[in-house]
Amino acid sequence: MTPNVTLVIAIGVLFAAGVYLLLERSLSRVLIGVVLLGNGANLLFLVAGGRAGRPPIVGAADEGQMSDPLPQAMVLTAIVITLGMTAFLLAMAYRSWQLQRHDEVQDDVEDRRIARLAAIDERAVTDADTEATAQSLDEEAEEARDETDEGVVQP
Amino acid sequence: MSDWTWVVPLPVVIPLFSAGLTLALYRRPRVQPVVSVTALALVLAASLVLLFQADNGPLVVDVGGWAAPVGINLVADRLSSLMLTISSAVTLCVLLYSLAQGRDDDEESAPVSIYHPTFLVLAAGVANAFLSGDLFNIYVGFEILLAASFVLITLGGTRDRIRAGTIYVVVALLSSVLFLVALAAIYAATGTVNLAQLSLRLPHIDPDVRLTLQVLLLLAFAVKAAVFPLSAWLPDSYPTAPAPVTAVFAGLLTKVGVYAIIRTQTLLFPGGQLDDVLMWAALATMVVGILGAVAQDDIKRLLSFTLVSHIGYMIFGIALSTEAGWTAAVYYVAHHITVQTALFLVVGLVERVGGSTSLTRLGGLAKIAPVLAILFFVPAMNLAGIPPLSGFLGKLGLLQAGVDAGTPLAYVLVVGSVVTSLLTLYALVKAWNKAFWQSPADTPRRAHLPFGMVGPTAALVLVGLTLTFAAGPLYAYTERAANAFTLRTTYIHAVLPDGERGEGESADVTEERAEEQPDEQPDEPATTGEHP
């Protein structure tokens, strides 16, 4: 089996772009990343299914020239699933924007707590990064946006 | 073939149909619970039937009448049936609990109209993943349960739940993409996704390619099963959901991943090339997980970390690649589903009585709610593995299997298991002392516990105890399941009769040929018969 080089390169580009976008903080970019990744995986499945060929309809062509229908059926299923998941992610990004006027992934509670504990300690770390601002990493961490205390309705 | 094969699709079909029905009845909040409870009770009954029938050999159903390897099939062997029985018992208890919670107070955690359909879809997805005899169908099962779990984890759409849901959803989607890539690679290498046919074809492909496929699949499943280094998402996302939702997630979702690891490791990749890697992963999962639990002061987070750490025990059993190890691992999965779910339900009750799950704020609950104290103590000790409870039996089986294996690495794992057990005991006793016995920091909210919530929790605790009393027959059952793993032929023969090459054609064609052309070759391409 010799896969189509153009398709293989396209898969690589889709995966690279998808992974890059997944690492962003904004949910809408993550959403686009998921879409690209999903499309890359679907394309990979199609290429994995073997070479292109005649339509897989019995009687339309002889069997040796037909393309394999199974991966096509599976990719169709996967496309539908990706669509549903994308819709949910979009709804979640919108809800996030409704709640706090930005759709960035928020800091984790535990991380914030640890950062605050670290800030209570002495200046532990100074290095080339922090000397410019004359701040320790802990102080910078403390100044980072913190949603854990502000605007949260305490149960 | 026995007469009971018609039962096999029911655990998937009944919840899906009932989900549609409850969705149609969204304006009838009194009818919805009746439908969903009936559906899950029927599923439990069907699973019990399968549990006893599968002991005589796997039951196979060809979906849509297409025989394997072309069609999709559902296979109920001992492992699937056992998982299905435990999981349907657990989902039923959690559903009853959440109904009582919804009746008792109208918080935003109360079942809204979307809760019932989603919960049923989750049950259907879990059942589909357990029963599927086809890797792609396992993927579909995963996606069904994930879609339902996304909705459940963000119920109400509050700020905290969106925060937790974000992490959960993105990680889940990433693992799905990994699984899809693994599927594509497997199809490219072997030309099939049917489990039985894969187990016949995989030995004939290049060993390096086979190892790559194994790593891809294991990565995808390890994210879902929360095996350390891929477990960081779990303690951040589970605790914020409503108590019943967290309980059912903790009990089932990670175990579906563990089930998939067991199935693929035993059926597709026997011989254990990656066992050493899995051993180290198991050790890291146990130790890192339990150290996380020791450091927590919120019961829900503490339990999430114990959940991660005890996944390590199951991976340890799988990685031993001996019948004894597999036996203990399957038993341990059954035990852990019940115990972990029961504990999360108890914590839901604790939160109602004490008004918080923070160990620094709770206190003195033993005086206010003695029943609750007992309900917490029994599964907590069970999780830590105090004799004679089922957790002890499962751990003992694992330790014995590890000592039998006798490799240095296995001994390291045995020591790790014991240390993890002791640390689990420490973490849970700390929680128990602080929540139930220390003098309370602020006055507890109320001591009202509706029977509808205590009942299902007690039922689950009792199921956990049943695993102890019925340990003999159950252990024998898992032993037979593990024995079938090593043989593999029973599974393959059940799915692919006809000399280990499935007929791969529609039932219509087979019938027509039997009627009209009794002498035709059985290996022509399958077509749907034209009815004269």
Q: Please answer yes or no on whether A77 and B174 come within 8 Å at the CB atom.
A: no
Residues B387-405: tens digit of each pLDDT: 888 888 888 888 888 888 8
- Rounded average pLDDT over B1-17: 82
* Whole-Å CA distances, B401 to A147, B173, B255: 48, 36, 21
- Enter the DSSP assignment of A104: B
Residue B528: its pLDDT value, please? 37
Distances (CA, A) of B463 to B53, B259, B338, B352, B467: 21, 20, 7, 23, 6
pLDDT at B24: 86
| Min Cα–Cα distance to chain A from B294, Å | 14
Residue B518 has pLDDT above 50, yes or no: no
How does pLDDT run across B303-326, given as a tens digit for each residue?
A: 889 999 999 999 998 888 888 888
Give the span between the Cα atoms of A155 and B354, in whole angstroms.
Answer: 12
- Three-class SS of residue A42? helix
* pLDDT score, position B505: 59
pLDDT for position B109:
44
Neighbours of A154 (CB within 10 A): 4
Considering only the beta carbons, identify the residue of A48, A77, A153 that sits closest to B187: A48
C-beta atoms of B170 and A34 within 8 A:
yes
pLDDT at B470: 82
Residues of chain A found within 8 Å of residue B185, distances taken between Cβ atoms: 48
> Between chains, do A48 and B188 touch, taking CB under 8 Å as contact?
yes
All residues at 6 or more sequence positions from B501 whose CB lies less than 8 Å from its CB, including other chains: none
Confidence label for A123 from pLDDT (cuts 50, 70 and 90): low
Q: What is the mean pLDDT of chain B?
A: 82
Q: What letter does residue B356 receive in the DSSP assignment? A: -
* Radius of gyration for chain A, computed over Cα atoms and rounded to the nearest angstrom: 24
Place of tokens 């394997």: B68
Long-range contacts of A4-9 (CB under 8 A, 24+ apart): A4/A47, A4/A52, A7/A43, A7/A46, A7/A47, A8/A47
Angle at B271 between CA B269 and CA B276, to 5 degrees: 95
Strand pairing report for B59-62 and B73-76: antiparallel
Task: Give the closest of B165, B193, B525 to A92, CB-based.
Answer: B165
CB contact under 8 A, B166 and A27: yes
- What's the pLDDT at B508? 59
B147–A84 CB contact, under 8 Å:
yes
Other residues' Cβ atoms within 10 Å of the Cβ of residue A137: 17
- CA distances to B67, B86, B120, B292, B512 from B133, rounded to whole Å, are 12, 20, 22, 37, 27
Beta bridge partners of A61: A58
Instruction: Specify the 3-state DSSP secondary structure of A25.
Output: coil
pLDDT at A155 over 50: no
How far separated are the first and last CA of chain A, in Å rounded? 60
As a whole number, mean pLDDT of residues B461-471 equals 83
> What is the reported pLDDT for B3?
77
Alpha-carbon separation of residue B178 from A71, A134, B122, B223, B265 (angstroms): 17, 43, 21, 10, 17
Chain B residue numbers touching A81 (CB-CB < 8 A): 140, 143, 176
The CA R_g of chain B, rounded to the nearest whole Å, is 23
Residue A28's pLDDT band, with cuts at 50, 70 and 90, is: confident
CA distances, A79 to each of A30, A74, B154, B186 (Å): 18, 9, 24, 19
pLDDT of residue A127: 53
pLDDT in tens, B59-91: 888 887 777 777 788 888 888 899 999 999 999
- Note whether B136 contacts A: Cβ–Cβ < 8 A: yes
- Comparing A133 with B459, which gets the higher pLDDT? B459
| Cβ neighbours of A44 in B, within 8 Å | 180-181, 184
For residue B183, give every residue at least 6 positions away whose Cβ sits within 8 Å of its Cβ, in sequence order, or none: A45, A74, B135, B136, B139, B193
**What local confidence, expressed as pLDDT, does residue B296 receive?**
81
Please compute the mean of the pLDDT values over residues A35-45 and round it to a whole number.
Answer: 91
Q: Is the pLDDT of residue B530 over 50?
A: no
Question: Please, which residues 47-86 of chain A have a Cβ atom closer than 8 Å to chain B?
Answer: 47-50, 58, 63, 68, 70-71, 74, 77-78, 81, 84-85
**B219-237 average pLDDT score:** 86
Q: Residue B127's pLDDT is what?
A: 92
Distances (CA, A) of B366 to B183, B375, B431, B460: 52, 11, 13, 21
Q: Does A39 touch chain B (CB under 8 A)?
A: no
When pLDDT is averaged across residues B153-163 and rounded to a whole number, the result is: 80
**In this predicted structure, which of A32-36, A57-61, A78-82, B138-142 has the lowest mean pLDDT?**
A57-61
A106 vs B9, residue with greater confidence: B9
Give the model's pLDDT for residue A132.
54
Contacts of A45 in chain B (CB under 8 A): 180, 183-184, 187
- With beta carbons under 8 A apart, name residues in chain A contacting B160: 152
* Whether A30 and B185 lie within 8 Å, measured CB to CB: no
CB hemisphere CA count around A155 (13 angstroms): 17
Tell me: pLDDT of B300 over 80. Answer: yes
Q: Do the Cβ atoms of B22 and B36 come closer than 8 Å?
A: yes
Q: What is the per-residue pLDDT across B360-387, written as a single tens digit (0 to 9) for each? A: 777 777 677 777 888 888 888 888 888 8
Compare all CA atoms of chain A with the CA of B180 and give the residue at the minimum distance.
A41
Residue B153 has pLDDT above 90, yes or no: no
| pLDDT one-digit tens code per residue, B23-51 | 888 777 778 888 888 999 999 999 988 88
Residue B19 reports pLDDT greater than 60: yes
User: Which residues are registered as beta bridge partners of A104?
Assistant: A26
Task: Please answer yes or no on whether B140 and A81 come within 8 Å at the CB atom.
Answer: yes
**Residue B105 pLDDT:** 62
> Smallest Cβ distance to B527: which of A41, A58, A152?
A58
Structure tokens at A83: 């669509």
Per 3-state DSSP, chain A is made up of helix, strand and coil in percentages (nearest 5) of 65, 5, 35
Q: Phi and psi dihedrals of B59, rounded to 5?
A: -95, 130
How far is residue B2 CA from its own chain's centroid? 27
Nearest one of B264, B326, B313 to B424, comparing CA atoms = B313
Peptide bond into A55 cis (omega under 30): no
Please answer whether residues B309 and B285 qualify as being in contact, where contact means their C-beta atoms are separated by less than 8 angstroms.
yes
User: What is the spatial distance between Cα B296 and Cα B306, in angstroms, rounded to a whole number?
Assistant: 11
pLDDT of residue B516: 55
Position B104 scores a pLDDT of 67
Q: What is the pLDDT of residue B110?
A: 47
The pTM of the full predicted model, rounded to 2 decimals, is 0.85
Out of B163, B235, B525, whose CB is closest to A106?
Answer: B163
- Residues of chain A with C-beta less than 8 angstroms from the C-beta of B506: none
Confidence of residue B111 (pLDDT cuts 50, 70, 90): low
* CB–CB contact B162 A92 (8 Å): yes
* DSSP symbol at B232: T
Considering only residues 288 to 307 of chain B, which have any Cβ-Cβ distance to chain A shorter than 8 Å?
301
Nearest CA in chain A to B157: A95
Distance (Å, whole) CA B146 – CA B158: 20
Best probe of the A interface among B173, B297, B357, B530, by most A CBs < 10 A, is B173
Sequence-distant (6+) residues with CB within 8 A of B328 are B317, B394, B397, B398, B400, B401, B478
Q: What percent of chain B has pLDDT over 90?
A: 14
Look at residues B337, B309, B431, B331 and name the one whose alpha carbon lies nearest to residue B381: B431
pLDDT at position A20 over 90: yes
d(CA B121, CA B130) in angstroms, rounded, equals: 14
Concatenate the DSSP letters of all residues of B453-515 into one string. HHHHHHHHHHHHHHHHHTHHHHHHHHHHHHHHHHH-HHHHHHHSHHHHS---SBHHHHHHHHH
**Distance in Å, alpha carbon of B1 to nearest chain A alpha carbon:** 28
Over residues B273-291, mean pLDDT: 88
Residues of chain A contacting B162 with CB distance shorter than 8 Å: 92, 95-96, 99
Considering chain B, what percentage of its residues have pLDDT values greater than 70? 89
* Residue B209 contacts A where some CB pair is shorter than 8 Å: no
Nearest Cα of chain B lies from the Cα of A131 at a distance, in angstroms, of: 32
Q: Would you place residue B269 in the very low, low, confident or very high pLDDT band (cuts 50, 70, 90)? A: confident
Segment B464-468 mean pLDDT: 83
